[in-house]
Amino acid sequence: MLHFKKKEQVHTDEIFAPVTGQVIELSTVSDPVFAQKMMGEGFAIMPDADESAVVAPVSGEVIIAQGHAFGIRRDDGLEFLVHVGIDTVALKGAPFKVHVKQGKQVVSGEKIITVDWSQIEAAQLDKTVMVLITNSKTNLAALNVDYQHVSLGDLLGKASAKA
């Protein structure tokens, strides 16, 4: 009988770019809920490529998979929410295709959703992608992000959980 071992995930504090674009301060986004960090600490990326893939910025368990947004709980308990665009929930999922199910383990860089950016532009909505740590008030020790241009999957910073 064959026994397949599950891949061991090695913990890392590294955060990778879910999309290509310019990393910006969360406080500069046009939606006050994100800008005022009501949903947690984080950063945003102004996408500037036509890539349709949005990938996992960290490894962990998918806890939300809704198209315009997905969440991943890292093994240290930090919960990351990636929200694609501002007010894109109003599009009722039209420009999004989800490739994972809630409860699945993913690795950083794995494709989570694809998005048709042209539909977001046609609806005259903001394409900014927010990456939030929703339990940052209780679980985040430090967040360090390089505010620079990144390509899909590039290392852009680190987040460490409280011990």
**Could you give the residue numbers annotated as active site?**
83
For 41, residues 6+ apart whose C-beta sits below 8 A from its C-beta are 26, 132, 133, 136, 140, 143
Nearest CA to 40 out of 5, 81, 12, 71 is that of: 81
Residues with Cβ within 8 Å of residue 12, at least 6 apart in sequence: 59, 108
